[in-house]
Structures are given as C-alpha cells and as structure tokens.
Amino acid sequence: MVESENIEALIALLNIIFFNRLTDFHSIKIVTAMKDEIRKRNGNINIQKLSSMFYYSEKHIRRLFFQYIGTSPKMFMRIARVNQALCLLQSKTMNFTDIAMQTGFFD
C-alpha cells in the first residue's frame, strides 16, 4: 500500500515505481536482443563485439547477464557453441574436426 501526505507526493511515488519498472523492462529487452544475437551467431561472438553493437560497457553486460540469465555472457556463448556442435553432430554430414572448427573449438 502506498501512502502519501498530498497528491504531489503520491504522483512522485508513482513516477518512481513506473520508471523503475520501465528501466527494468528496457534491460530485459536489451538482454533478450543480446541473447538473440549470440544465438544467431551460434555463440561465435565476443563480449567486446556485443559491447560495441549495443553501446553498453562489458562490465554492464556481464551484470545484466548474471541478473537476468543467471550466467556470464561468456558461458552463454559457450553453451550456444556446444548446442550448435550437437546439432551438427546429429546431422551426421560433417566429421568431428570440421564441426569443432566451425563452432570455434580448437583444442
């Protein structure tokens, strides 16, 4: 329950609540866009590239990923690469070496 002494204070409180949710919604949209970009590239992108594409610092991107996805962007990229490798393995059209090279695994 929100209480205030006058209408101006009530409006100020409602604005704070509204803008906090709006900011949160914006963050979710940005993280979703970054996640989609990573998946589109099958995990073959680095955080520096994401930073330049979305105009966020690398530190802030890491913070957003931990907050909304629960893992680092690097781990999410690795998961996307492994997922792509598994899809290619199921197709049985490529050998292990070609799959590893295509998905960015070199060792």
- Residue 107 has what DSSP assignment? -
44/38 Cα distance (integer angstroms) = 7
pLDDT in tens, 62-88: 999 998 888 899 999 988 888 888 888
7-102: what fold?
Arc Repressor Mutant, subunit A (1.10.10)
Instruction: Please report the pLDDT score of residue 4 as a whole number.
Output: 59
Collect the ranges in the chain with pLDDT lower than 50.
22
Q: Model pTM?
A: 0.71
